[in-house]
Amino acid sequence: MVFSFLSFVHLTLAVAVSLRIFSRRSSRGSALAWLLLVLLVPAVGALAYLLIGERRLGKTWMQRAIALQPQILRWAQRIPATTVVSPGFLDRGAESISRLATGSIGLPLLGGHRLQLLADSASIMRALIADIDAARTSVHMEFYIWSAGGFVDELVAALVRASERGVSCNVLMDSLGSRAFFRSEALAGLRRAGANVVEVLPVNPLRALFVRLDLRDHRKIAVIDRRVAYTGSMNIADPRFFKQDAGVGEWVDAMVRIEGPAAWVLEAVSLSLTALQTGADFAPPPPPELPRTGDSHVQIFPSGPQGATRHIEALLLTAVYAARREIVLTTPYFIPSEPLLTALRSAAIRGVRVILIVPAKVDSLLVRYASNAYIEDLLSVGITILHFGDGLLHTKSMVIDEQITIFGTVNLDLRSFELNFEVSLIAYDQVFAVQTRRLQSEYEARSLPLQLAQWHARPQWRRLLENAVQTMSPLL
């Protein structure tokens, strides 16, 4: 009798969740992974699907997102024509990337920028603090992780000084990524000084009933006086102290400092998330009068879970298929979608040199096993895979033919494609591409290449475990 009842419950849960999955038209890999989990462990699988199976931002957020979209498009159409550049002057591959970016997001190609690549955390923080100390009107920051200690305390002190001299300081922090910081004296000091601190996507047990709690704000944006901006991979955390118990070494990051109209656009992108979180009006201040500071052409490419289309995946696919000679990628987490895996393999087969640089150790055992499952597929077609052994390589970069650079917060995994708010800088600038490629070469020098014969020789149990975890990778 008990067995029959449990079988009935098992069947009921499996059918109920299956019907829900089929009604949502999930990606094939995600749907199959959820079905497998529900069939194998129905109670756990059903509960997991309830909590993280769908991209639920909540009714209020989605209503705001629907109302906000036409406002953002109208704002984008009013970007001063003097800063907008036609993509027609780019070569064919770059033009296709630019047109897809504009068609997907609505943000045009912009000219007149000076780009500076900052390749280590200390130099990044020194430059950012100097710009905050020089701020006259506004400082706007949005980062996934804030972690007190080390040079972060110096940054907080600079923000306090700016607030006290009348500079408008707005700070967005992800609720989960910055959880410990919200209980810190540093945060209290910011608020006492008058800085406006916004907690993005708050985490609490009650919200878990209505929203998916692992939808996170993974962006890294700093904008000073709407003239200077930063974006890239670094959180507001000193790598000498951050996650030192994870056994992966110090995190290795890079950022780009941007002078030009893209700084104002980055602030507007961040203000759109402020509007989603707080319900405030989306009303970016007008752009400042900016002298032409350089010759770089760039596009800002935000992405997030509020839309049904994986725009960032489409951008990366277009870039890979546009490559003629070389693609070099760095990412801490590599769990690609099937289309991206196919694109990289196809590039290598048609003669494009493809180099993937990833850390030898990452701070997630499941991600490590899932990522390893793809290595043989890549090595077998001649793709070079390098394991960076000098810390957790956290820089997210793609350089195409030493001409085009995609640089920002996006990891090469489904979490970045589907679940996180992310932002990327697309730079159509050979000088910046060469600089970024040089940084990638420095990473290569600190890495060891994987060999196909050695990889084949790994224990059978590891191969089985990696393939099993990879089957569930759409859920990671």
Q: Which residues does the annotation mark as catalytic?
A: 218, 220, 225, 394, 396, 401
Question: Quick one: 405 exposed, middle or buried, by C-beta within 10 A (0-12, 13-18, 19+)?
Answer: buried
- List, in sequence order, every residue forming a beta bridge with 205; answer none if it has no partner: none
Integer Cα distance of 300 and 111 in angstroms = 12
Integer Cα distance of 359 and 387 in angstroms = 5
Q: Name the token pair of 209.
A: 């009933």
Give the type of residue at 68. L
Closest-CA residue to 327 (of 347, 346, 309, 313):
347
Query: ∠462-467-469 over CA atoms, to 5°?
Result: 95
Backbone angles phi, psi at 198, to 5 degrees: -115, 125
Integer Cα distance of 324 and 320 in angstroms = 9
Integer Cα distance of 218 and 195 in angstroms = 21
Closest-CA residue to 383 (of 411, 410, 347):
347
In the chain, what's the furthest Cα-to-Cα distance?
Answer: 80
Query: Please, are residues 401 and 338 in contact by the beta-carbon 8 Å criterion?
Result: no
Query: Please, are residues 212 and 56 in contact by the beta-carbon 8 Å criterion?
Result: yes
Counted residue by residue, the chain has a size of 476
Query: ∠205-207-211 over CA atoms, to 5°?
Result: 130
Place of tokens 């003629």: 324
What's the 3-state SS for 149-195?
CCHHHHHHHHHHHHHHCCCEEEEEEECCCCCCHHHCHHHHHHHHHCC
